[in-house]
Structure 1
Amino acid sequence: MSVSLETTYLGLKLSSPLIPSASPLSKSLDTVKVLEEMGAGAIVLYSLFEEDIEKETSSLEQSLTVGAESFAEALSYVPDVPTLRIGPDYYLDHLMRVKQSVGIPVIASLNAQNPGQWIKFAKLIEEAGADGLELNLYSIPTIASLSSQELEKKYLEVIKACRQAVKIPIAVKLSPFFTNFFSFSSLVEQTEVNGLVLFNRFFQPDIDLENMNVEPRITLSTENELLLRITWIGILFNRLKLDLSATGGVLTATDALKAILSGATTVQLCSALLYHGVEYLKTIRNGMVEWMEKKGYYSVSSIRGLLSQKNCPDPSSYERAQYVYALSVYPTPSLSGLEKKERG
Structure 2
Amino acid sequence: MKLATTYLGLPLRNPLVASAGPLSQTVEGIRRLADGGVGAVVLYSVFEEQIRRQAEADRALEELHADAFGEALSYFPDLPGLADGDVPADYLRLLEDGAEAAGVPIIGSINGSTRGGWTQYARQLQDAGAAAIELNIYFVVGDISLSGREVEQRHLDIVRAVKQAVSIPVAVKLSPYFSSVGNMCRQLSEAGADGLVLFNRFLQPEVDVDALDVEPEVELSSQYEGRLPRTWIAALRGKVSASLAATSGVRDADDVVRYLLAGADVVMSTSALVRNGTEYSGQMLAGLEDWMAAKGFDSVDDFRGLLAVRHQDENAYQRAGYVTALEKAKSTYGSL
**Same fold by TM-score, threshold 0.5 exceeded?**
yes
Q: Using a 3 Å threshold, how does the CA distance of structure 1 residues 318 and 223 change in structure 2: closer, same or farther?
A: farther
Paired AA for residue 31 in structure 1 = G
Residue 94 (structure 2) pairs with residue 94 (structure 1): yes
Q: Deviations over 1:167-226 (max 9, x none)?
A: 101111110111111111111111122111100001111112222221210111011000
Q: Does 1:221 align with 2:221?
A: yes
- Contact kept? 1:231, 1:318, Cα under 8 Å: no
The residue that corresponds to 1:303 in the other structure is 303
- Which residue of 2 is the match for residue 342 of structure 1? none
Match of 2:12 in 1: 14
**Equivalent residue pairs, number:** 330
TM-fit CA distance, 1:80: 4.1
Query: 1:299 corresponds to which letter in structure 2?
Result: S
- Which residue in 2 is equivalent to 1:322? 321
SS at match of 1:158: helix
Change (3 A) 1:86 1:120: closer
Partner of 1:274: 274
Deviation at 1:285, TM superposition (A): 0.7
What is the CA–CA distance in structure 1 between the aligned matches of 2:94 and 2:28, rounded to whole Å?
12
For 2:125 and 2:219, how far apart are their aligned partners in 1? 29
Residue in structure 2 matched with residue 208 of structure 1 by the alignment: 208
* Residues 294, 316 of structure 1: alpha-carbon distance in 2 compared, 3 angstrom cutoff: farther
Q: Residue 235 of structure 1 contacts residue 318 of structure 1 at CA under 8 Å; is this kept in 2?
A: no
- In the superposition, the TM-score normalised over structure 1's length comes to 0.90
Alignment of 1:67-86 (within 5 A): 68=65, 71-73=68-70, 76=73, 77-82=75-80
Deviation at 1:316, TM superposition (A): 7.9
- Measured in 1, the distance between the counterparts of 2:10 and 2:333 equals 50
Instruction: Indicate the SS of the match to 2:77.
Output: coil
RMSD: 2.3
1:39 to 37, 43, 48: 37
- Residue 304 of structure 1 and its aligned partner are, at CA, apart by 0.3
Give the letter aligned to residue 134 of structure 1: E
Which range is displaced more, 279-288 or 74-83?
74-83
The 2-side partners of 1:186 and 1:206 are apart by 34
Structure 1 residues 125, 42: CA separation in 2 closer, same or farther (over 3 Å shift)?
A: same
Q: 2:60 aligns with which of 62, 70, 92?
A: 62
The equivalent residue for 1:251 is: 251
Q: Is the 8 A contact 2:54 2:85 kept in 1?
A: no
- Of stretches 118-127 and 257-266 in structure 1, the one that deviates more from structure 2 is 118-127
CA shift in 2, pair 1:212/1:166, >3 Å = same
Change over 3 Å in CA distance of 1:75–1:53 after alignment to 2: farther
Question: Given that residues 26 and 94 in structure 2 are in contact (C-alpha distance below 8 angstroms), is that contact kept between their aligned partners in structure 1?
Answer: no
Matched AA of 1:121: Y
SS of the residue aligned with 2:173? Answer: strand
Report the secondary structure of 1:82's partner residue.
coil
In structure 1, C-alpha distance between the alignment counterparts of 2:58 and 2:225, rounded to whole Å: 41
CA separation in 2, counterparts of 1:26 and 1:244? 22
Question: Given that residues 134 and 173 in structure 2 are in contact (C-alpha distance below 8 angstroms), is that contact kept between their aligned partners in structure 1?
Answer: yes
Report if aligned partners of 2:96, 2:129 keep a CA contact under 8 Å in 1.
Answer: yes
Partner Cα distance (1:38, 1:110) in 2: 25
Q: Distance in 2 between matches of 1:329 and 1:277?
A: 37
Summarize the Cα distance change of 1:35–1:145 in structure 2 as closer, same or farther, 3 Å threshold. Answer: same
- Matching residue of 1:134: 134
Residue number in structure 2 paired with 1:339? none
Q: Which amino acid aligns with 1:22?
A: A
Q: Which runs of 5+ in 1 are unaligned?
A: 335-344
Q: C-alpha displacement at 1:280, in angstroms? A: 0.8
> Does structure 1 residue 118 correspond to structure 2 residue 115?
no
Q: Which has the larger radius of gyration?
A: 1
